[in-house]
């Protein structure tokens, strides 16, 4: 039996961060991880730009202008956003300009239309503008060559919009981990099937698959196998070539039907470790089969859930290079007592808000999945301690 920390260290040593990359179109980049830096291929804005509707002028031509002392300039053209004015503005001249349009050569300021008579051939100005007033410089947002998005960035909507504004219709990202989930057990029915004697519904498969999805990792493949070591081994052989990790549930304890030990024998591999000193889900069994990490979790729904969070997430973090896939840990004050004594470090389901945390009351049996509803954390109760009193500071692992 090894500690949780030893188990995590052992598993994370087995995986190396994914280096293979793929080109993915802009729309599908959410949550993906950049495999290279992205630099600005041009100044942004690419040209000096008007921030408002008005007239592009030479600021010097407007000095001292006011309502009492208007100035009149010759309007030599008009320019809209998305278009360009080909000429050059000379002294005494102006160009009608709209928001977002390039400021013509020769002009160095924009006077807002509210300070003019909106003239077409000539325009009367009622205010002065200084050179470079109302003038967005080329490169004001960023300059050509600036690294805007670094390799390793986990892309969100704003990152994607910046990539779009740089003109990138796709980006090079690391491929996503490929993960198979196999639930085992003769007693498991798939949801939707009619309930028969002695059976229960398989919830581990959907749980782990959905947790993976929630962490931004697509489901590669999910399967259910009965209690046959040969069958499970055969499935693992079939899918391992395409998988970084295979997660199984069930069959890891010490009973006759705890087939996962037999599965490893069939595959001809030795366990990395079997049993971790945590409650629930202690009998976790792990191995490596042909470069694929096998993590065999307890079949108990809460045991599987807790060990997915505690053991599998750190592995996913290393594999993807995304440390945010690990649970965050904080300390909080327990608002209700947990009286049970235990030899093993125990993780309770809880709900934390601000600096407080409440353990789920009622049924704490490891199989009771419904106690997970409305929980947002796991509460760590150290071993060899007479439970935990109300008001105790506890470590809280945020789901």
In sequence order, the β-bridge partners of residue 245 are 179, 293
Which residue from 372, 385, 392, 395 is in contact with a second copy, where contact means CB under 8 A?
A: 372
Could you tell me the CA-to-CA distances from 83 to 67, 168, 327 in Å, in that order? 32, 22, 51
Which residue from 11, 154, 160, 317 is in contact with a second copy, where contact means CB under 8 A?
A: 160
Q: Could you give the CA distance from residue 352 to residue 300 in angstroms, rounded to a whole number?
A: 24
* Residue 70 interacting with a second copy (CB under 8 A): no
Q: Please state, as a whole number, how many other Cβ atoms lie within 10 Å of the Cβ of residue 382.
A: 13
Instruction: List binders of a second copy among 298-327 (CB under 8 A).
Output: 299, 301, 305
Q: Which of 272, 348 has the CB closer to a second copy?
A: 348
Per CB under 8 A, which region of 58-66, 167-175, 339-347, 390-398 contacts a second copy? 167-175
| Structure token digits, residue 121 | 């051939």
Q: What secondary structure letter does DSSP report for 368?
A: -
Cβ(344)–Cβ(278) below 8 Å: yes
Write the DSSP string, 234-294. Answer: HHHHHHHTT-SEEEEES--SSSTT-THHHHHHHHT--EEEE-BSEES-TT-EEEEETTEEE
Instruction: List binders of a second copy among 328-347 (CB under 8 A).
Output: none
* Residue 166 interacting with a second copy (CB under 8 A): yes
Q: What secondary structure letter does DSSP report for 305?
A: H
Which residue from 59, 185, 280, 281 is in contact with a second copy, where contact means CB under 8 A?
A: 185
Which residue from 64, 68, 255, 386 is in contact with a second copy, where contact means CB under 8 A?
A: 255
At residue 38, the 3 state secondary structure works out as strand
Mask for 130-159, x = binds a second copy (CB under 8 A): ------x---xxx-----xx------xxxx
Q: Could you give the CA distance from residue 101 to residue 95 in angstroms, rounded to a whole number?
A: 11
Q: Which of 16, 210 has the CB closer to a second copy?
A: 210
Instruction: List binders of a second copy among 193-212 (CB under 8 A).
Output: 193, 195, 197-207, 209-211
* Residue 172 interacting with a second copy (CB under 8 A): no
* Residue 223 interacting with a second copy (CB under 8 A): no
Mask for 74-113, x = binds a second copy (CB under 8 A): -----xxxxxx-------------xxxxx----------x
């Amino acid at each position: 039996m090894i500690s949780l920390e030893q188990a995590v260290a052992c598993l994370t040593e087995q995986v190396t961060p994914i280096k293979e990359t793929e080109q993915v179109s802009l729309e599908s980049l959410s949550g993906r991880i950049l495999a290279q830096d992205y630099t600005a291929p041009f100044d942004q804005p690419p040209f000096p730009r008007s921030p408002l509707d008005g007239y592009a002028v030479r600021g010097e031509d407007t000095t001292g202008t006011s309502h009492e002392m208007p100035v009149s300039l010759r309007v030599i053209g008009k320019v809209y956003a998305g278009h360009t004015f080909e000429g050059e503005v000379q002294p005494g001249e102006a160009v009608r300009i709209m928001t977002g349009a390039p400021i013509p050569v020769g002009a160095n300021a924009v006077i807002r239309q509210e300070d003019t008579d909106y003239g077409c051939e000539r325009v009367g100005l009622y205010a002065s503008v200084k050179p470079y007033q109302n003038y967005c410089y080329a490169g004001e947002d960023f300059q050509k060559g600036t690294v805007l998005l670094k390799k390793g960035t986990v892309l969100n909507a704003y990152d994607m919009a910046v990539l779009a504004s740089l003109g990138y219709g796709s980006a090079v990202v690391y491929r996503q981990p490929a993960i198979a989930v196999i639930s085992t057990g003769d007693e498991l029915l798939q949801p939707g099937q009619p309930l028969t004697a002695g059976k229960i519904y398989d919830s581990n498969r959907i749980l782990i698959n959905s947790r993976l999805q929630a962490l931004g990792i697509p489901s590669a493949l999910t399967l259910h196998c009965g209690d046959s070591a040969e069958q499970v081994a055969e499935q693992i052989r079939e899918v391992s070539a395409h998988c970084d990790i295979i997660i199984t549930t069930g069959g890891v304890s010490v009973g006759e039907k705890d087939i996962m030990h037999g599965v490893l024998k069939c595959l001809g591999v030795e366990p990395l470790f079997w049993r971790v000193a945590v409650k629930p889900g202690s009998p976790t069994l792990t191995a490596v089969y042909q470069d694929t990490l096998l993590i065999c979790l307890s079949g108990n729904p809460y045991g599987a859930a807790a060990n997915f969070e505690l053991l599998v997430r750190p592995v996913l973090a290393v594999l993807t290079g995304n440390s945010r896939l690990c649970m965050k840990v904080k300390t909080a004050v327990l608002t209700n007592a947990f009286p049970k004594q235990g030899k093993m470090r125990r993780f309770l389901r809880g709900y934390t808000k601000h600096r407080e945390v409440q353990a789920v009351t009622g049924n704490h049996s490891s199989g009771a999945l419904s106690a997970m509803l409305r929980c947002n954390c796991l509460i760590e109760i150290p071993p060899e301690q007479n439970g935990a009193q109300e008001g105790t500071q506890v470590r809280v692992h945020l789901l």
